[in-house]
Amino acid sequence: MPIDPQFEENKEHAGEENGVDVWGPTDPPEELGIHGTHVAVDYDICIGDGACLEDCPVDVFTWVDTPGHPESEIKAEPTHEAQCIDCMLCVDVCPVDAIDVDPGRAGRI
């Protein structure tokens, strides 16, 4: 199941990690929620393959450790989401549809 594009309405704001908004519920290490707002990554389905890191022309993503998560023990954090140019390459290359980019949410980060 891909990331919920309506996560802001359907999930609760659970706080912040590494300067990035987190939307929950969260219950580490199995349930990590969605990280980011303008550029959002659903950590619960992210498999950490790195395609988004490799293809992003403005280096929005960095690796973070997520030990014990059943899908992967590293995730792509949208650490620099304010740099996003809305090219959608990360959305296109994600094999599990774990990323959503919404230009309308850019002003809310």
Q: What domains lie within the chain, and their CATH numbers?
A: 7-108 (3.30.70.20)
Return the pLDDT at 109: 47
The one-digit pLDDT tens for each residue of the chain (109 residues) are: 899 999 999 999 999 999 999 999 999 999 999 999 999 999 999 999 999 999 999 999 999 999 999 999 999 999 999 999 999 999 999 999 999 999 887 655 4
Q: Model's pTM, two decimal places?
A: 0.95
Binding-site residue numbers for [4Fe-4S] cluster are 56, 84, 87, 90
pLDDT at residue 106, rounded to an integer: 65
Q: How far apart are CA 22 and CA 36, in angstroms?
A: 6
**Annotated binding site for [3Fe-4S] cluster: which residue ranges?**
46, 52, 94
Burial 12-48 (b: 16+ CB within 10 A, else e): eebeeeeebbbbeebeeeeebbbbbbbbbbbbbbbeb
Binding-site residue positions for Zn(2+): 35
Which neighbouring-strand residues pair with 12?
Answer: 24
Place of tokens 């030990």: 67
